[in-house]
Structure 1
Amino acid sequence: MFWNDWYGWQRNLWDLAQQSSAGQLRRSYPGIQLFGGDNEALIRAEVPGVKAEDLELEVQDQELSIRIKRDAVQGEALRSERPHGEYEKVVRLPFRANPEKVNAELKAGVLNVRLERAMEDRPRKIAVAAS
């Protein structure tokens, strides 16, 4: 009896902590890394347990939006630290991306997104005419 009460109390406390930190989690999930070159960028997002069909990516100008829908684990857990719900992470890119040249791959819980710089955003050399 004592242990049932203890776990119930602990679960209620954990739920309160989850609710108060939910906004922070929504802003920080998923964790990402951004690597960039002159004309290409690579974004790695840690999304363990997420399926490809639960991911939605959108590129517009200098931003990549990553939307994730993650269902809660069914059943009553004594403790659950696995995030669930809907999340959106907007990543500011170092350049405008070409939406036709985006490649996304999900492997071993890591989403890799390669983006190519838009041609109109690339630096151009300008010839100087002598007079």
Structure 2
Amino acid sequence: MKKIVIVDDEIYIRALIKETLEDLEEVIIFTADDGEKGIQLIEEKKPDLVLLDLVLPIYNGYEVLNHITENDLDKDMKVFLLTAKGQDKDRVTGLKLGADYYVTKPFDPEFLLQKVCEVLNLNLN
């Protein structure tokens, strides 16, 4: 089973992502609504993919991403930053810190589904 952790403080974004991905076979989805809970889930579940917002309570997405890379949790893990922060400097910072993709909100759920399937080597049903 592939594991995905969604870390976003906006409940409707978490719900949209979960609904978009829920029909994928062999995928388990976990969610967190702040950076601290996100780090705990990432350490506990060791997901294959993290979908991470940048603007989060407690620890922001950059801090979560930094924790992932500093603790070598990213060896078999991909990280997508999903954020409303669309400036080039934000994108560059996220990618330099170790993110694999940077997707700005609002995003196309179908695009996200395709990218997730591509990264996790899953077939679309």
Normalising by structure 1, we get a TM-score of 0.20
Greater Cα radius of gyration, structure 1 or 2: 1
- Return the structure number with greater helix share: 2
- Return the structure number with greater strand share: 1
Normalising by structure 2, we get a TM-score of 0.20
